Amino acid sequence: MHLATDNSASLSRRALWFGFATAAIAWLLTGIADVLITWQACPAARNGGSMESSYRGLYLGFTFALLAASMAAGLISFRNWRRLSSAPSIAEAEGKGRREYMALIGVFISITMGVSIVWLSLPIFLLNICSRER
């Protein structure tokens, strides 16, 4: 059985908030990047430009960077939760107290938003970049 040590005093508020909020912000930024990149790519395509691969590359870069931020938030949240919790596994976690709850919810938000970022970015690679504009 894992017993939580008194590492909660050394756990910073920044680490808690980073783990709690970063994945959701990354998901939001993925959506914004999707709209802005599509907004720039489609007029160029209608005017005879063939820059779709460069826009796909730009979108791929944003997606990987924001997915990495979401994964980092999940790992930090999990580390924070391990420091704060006395539960032996995450399946038995309860989130007692505000700090432990923030860490535990940060893990779940990071997983959910990470999967959402992947799902949001799939159409850009499967469809024509401007087919969603119509």
3-state DSSP assignment of residue 98:
helix
- The Cα–Cα gap between 4 and 33 comes to 40
- pTM (global) more than 0.75: yes
- The Cα–Cα gap between 120 and 118 comes to 5
> pLDDT grade, residue 11 (50/70/90)?
confident
Please write the tens of the pLDDT for every residue from 51-101. Answer: 667 788 888 899 999 999 999 999 999 999 989 888 887 777 777 888 989
User: Which of 47, 51, 29 shows the shortest CA–CA distance to 121?
Assistant: 29
